[in-house]
Amino acid sequence: MEVRQDAAMDNRSSEDRQRRHPSPSKQPKSSPVPVDTNSVTQRLQRELMALMMSGDLGVSAFPKGESIFTWIGTIEGGKGTMYEGLSYKLSLQFPMDYPFKPPQVKFETMCFHPNIDQFGNICLDILQDKWSAAYDCRTILLSIQSLLGEPNVESPLNSSAASLWSNQEDYRRMVHKHYAAEEAYWSLSP
């Protein structure tokens, strides 16, 4: 009986968290602008070219397979941050009415960070309510790279990471522990 009550309490506390901190992957309602997938495809192709030619250190992304709407990105931790020397994979799913709606971006590599939850969801304003059609993939990747070194501990998705942030030595250990666990997992996978 206690197990059922504990499970019910966990479900309720999870629902409470969802109400207080809605999932960052929730997208705004559809745009009233008619969708022209050809123009979206052209824009994504231009963004891909611009990203490849930018020369930005530590960020890259390419379409996954044949679809221009699904990309795999890579972000390296910035110099002087807790993430320096670490490389993270992300998935980017562009909606059909991009750039009027932001892409869904998630960490595919486990990342211990105040603004990234255990499922890879990212709490970053430009991916939510501060989105602008002027942003592009390069802007998104550079913003996420910057977020790694400068978290918003006032709006955490991972409260244990947020509370540990003030102790930089312990925080660094946890970042590397989580990263090593991810590396070990993938090296054992068939």
pLDDT band for 15, please (50, 70, 90 cuts). Answer: very low
| pTM for the structure as a whole | 0.78
Is pLDDT above 90 for 157?
A: yes
* Residue of 67, 48, 70, 68 whose CA lies nearest to 59: 48
Residues noted as catalytic:
123
- Between 4 and 86, name the one with better pLDDT: 86
**DSSP per residue over 32-49, as a string?**
SSPP-HHHHHHHHHHHHH
CA torsion, points 24, 29, 32, 34, in degrees to nearest 10? 70
pLDDT of residue 110: 94
Name the average pLDDT for the chain. 85
Contact of 105 with 90, CB cutoff 8 Å: yes
Q: How buried is residue 55: exposed, middle or buried, by Cβ count under 10 Å (0-12/13-18/19+)? A: exposed
Would you state the structure tokens that stand for residue 97, as one six-digit string? 């009415």
User: What would the mean pLDDT of 159-178 be, rounded to a whole number?
Assistant: 96
The CA distance from 75 to 89, in Å, is 7
Would you state the structure tokens that stand for residue 67, as one six-digit string? 């679809």
pLDDT of residue 181: 87
From 17-21, 94-98, 102-106, 164-168, the region with the lowest mean pLDDT: 17-21
Contact of 63 with 70, CB cutoff 8 Å: yes
**DSSP per residue over 120-176, as a string?**
-BB--GGGTTT--TT--HHHHHHHHHHHHHS--TTS-SSHHHHHHTTSHHHHHHHHH
The CA distance from 65 to 171, in Å, is 36
pLDDT of residue 32: 54
Is pLDDT above 90 for 30?
A: no
The CA distance from 91 to 105, in Å, is 6
State pLDDT tens for residues 32-82. 555 678 999 999 999 999 999 998 889 999 999 999 999 999 999 999 999
pLDDT of residue 37: 85
